[in-house]
Amino acid sequence: MTRPKKKLTSLLTPFFSNIKEVGFSLLFLFIVSNGNAQSHFWFGNIHSHCEYSDGNMANDPNYLTAKSCFEYVQTKALNVNFWGISDHNHSGGGMQRPDYHKGIAEADSTNLDGIFPTMYGMEWGIISTGGHVVIYGIDSLIGWESGNYDIFNAQSDYNSLFNMVAARGDSAFAYLAHMESTDFGGIQNNPYNALWDSAIVGLAIKSGPAFSTDTTYSDLPTSTHLSRYLDLLKIGYHVAPGFDHDNHNINFGRSHTGRTVVITDSLNRKSIMQAFRRSSFYASDDWNAKIYFSVSGYGMGTSCSANQDPQIRLVVDDPDNENTDSIKIFYGVPGSGTRATILHLSTFADSMSYTHIIPVATTYYYFAEITQADGNKIWTAPVWFTRNADAPTFELISFTAVKSGDHALLNWSTLNEFNTDYFNIEKSTDAVVYNFAATTNATGSLGNTALYSWLDPDILDTSTYYRLTIFDNNGLSQLSPVRRVDPSELTFNINIYPNPAGNENTWCSLSHNLVEPMRMEIFSADGKLVLSSNFYSEIGTLYFNLPAERLSRGLYTIRFSNSDYSINDSKRFIRH
């Protein structure tokens, strides 16, 4: 929804403070139209129980089915967008094979894509013989009891279980519940297993209280499994942190405010499942805090590479205006056997930016721990980053993507191409998974500017992200910034007038069609940051009165970027 002006003003306070320190003053005029900001954060839980195993411990006659439990969550729980029930897979936990199939059918009948997705799965295993694994995407009951399974898997045989889930590919996933150090076939004490890694997407770093009856959101779990998360990462597993409720009573989503937060464009079961599969989720004590975390433009759960040092960015967006006490960025080497350590600490700020200088041909993973003023904590999923060799030699002067009729038009220009071979154009609808779209051969040379243009032949019917991968004749490559094009008429655009600027008023206008966290930065010609601040864009045009009369003569660059770096656009201006 459109963000209230009160929130916008509070976020601009640091902006004015920064300007005051250097003797600048800015004037903001807002010309905006009504519109909705698209949310990509969905709050829920995938670990709870109903009457079909050992849920509904009070035997409430109103909640004897999975359907009635899903309806309870949707109508009674606050700040919940999706829900999963994962009943125990064996008779000792109350499960009988026909009831598992009832749960699957009732999740399908109550699933409301776009409103309230519901999922039904199983919690496989026994604590005393190896631990519980939450499994979704397999509509057959996996078990070991005679007559009480569709698919046989021997009790405590986690190798077979994880291999079975991995064989399902993107249609299923395994998630580790309330993990102890010896659980799951000794995963924590054995070498990295790539097949297991392809099945396991994450684990609960907080869980329960499983038998709570609280409905006032005040019964927080007292234990943590954070150390298990750190240990799996150091072995080399690609896992994200979750926050479980593990309800055994009819209080779904109401025992506390902890949530597993899924990052994906669409609120539907398929999209939620895919987000879990790619480990694009995080654990939060806070039930509505949105965390924009990226490394060189890549979001949580991503394995990526680039020819530059990793640029780490994080923005906290809490609709309740809670202050952020600290942001800790952790880093580690996958497979090193050494836990991640703190790389960077920011205090009393709701955003941070940091570039980590690392050697060529090295891989690190990065994740964040955010602590709010009330003590609530949020843990992000990691980003795994590999630093490639040096990039091809040339300068990408500009790269734009705009709506042209019913299509997207890309234009870019380069200077001083040397040994450049070709450009791959890639596109995405979620800014996570990019697909090849076209190839354009390089035509530039040293001392010359080259211009390129490409019109996407596909109809632009949804927000689409574009990027270039630039290859040289040695096979080295680098990525361009990402550009987004929306079907609506208004697109992202920056203008400066007059340019060159003198002592008179100099205006910068920013046009955008979304309400989202943004960052403004002004750099001098030698790359020194002169001014920076975070703010919220509005739908329409936002005007900045630039303090050109206070700047020394020379060339400057003003850059705007959003929190996931899918927008990273700049303009140059001259102070004469």
pLDDT of residue 552: 85
Listing from the earlier edge strand, what are the strands of the sheet with 28-32? 28-32, 540-546, 506-512, 493-497
pLDDT of residue 35: 26
**411-464 residue pLDDT tens:** 898 888 888 899 999 998 877 778 899 999 999 888 788 889 999 999 998 889
CA nearest to 218, candidates 254, 266, 179, 263: 254
Phi, psi of 7 (to 5 degrees): -65, -40
Cβ partners under 8 Å of residue 208, min gap 6: 178, 221, 223, 244, 245, 246
Identify the H or E element spanning 174: strand 173-176
Each domain of the chain, given as residue ranges in start order, spans 5-32+489-575, 299-389, 393-475
| Calpha distance 258→222 (Å, rounded) | 12
pLDDT of residue 9: 29
Return the CATH fold of 5-32+489-575: Immunoglobulin-like (2.60.40)
Is CATH 2.60.40.10 the classification given to domain 393-475?
Answer: yes
Lowest mean pLDDT among 394-398, 419-423, 443-447, 511-515: 511-515
Q: How far is CA 88 from the centre of its chain?
A: 30
CA nearest to 576, candidates 520, 493, 506: 506
pLDDT of residue 318: 93
**319-368 residue pLDDT tens:** 999 999 999 999 999 999 999 999 999 999 999 999 999 998 899 999 99
**519-529 residue pLDDT tens:** 888 888 888 88
- Look at residue 480 and tell me whether its pLDDT is greater than 90: no
- Look at residue 136 and tell me whether its pLDDT is greater than 90: yes
Q: Which of 46 and 508 is assigned the larger pLDDT?
A: 46
Count of residues in the chain: 576
CA atoms within 13 A on the CB side of 568: 17
Strand pairing report for 200-206 and 173-176: parallel
Strand pairing report for 133-136 and 420-428: unpaired
**272-312 residue pLDDT tens:** 999 999 999 999 999 999 999 999 888 999 998 888 899 99
Rounded mean pLDDT of the chain?
87
Whole-prediction pTM? 0.68
Return the CATH fold of 299-389: Immunoglobulin-like (2.60.40)
| Calpha distance 506→526 (Å, rounded) | 22
- Do the first three CATH levels of 5-32+489-575 and 299-389 match, i.e. the same topology? yes
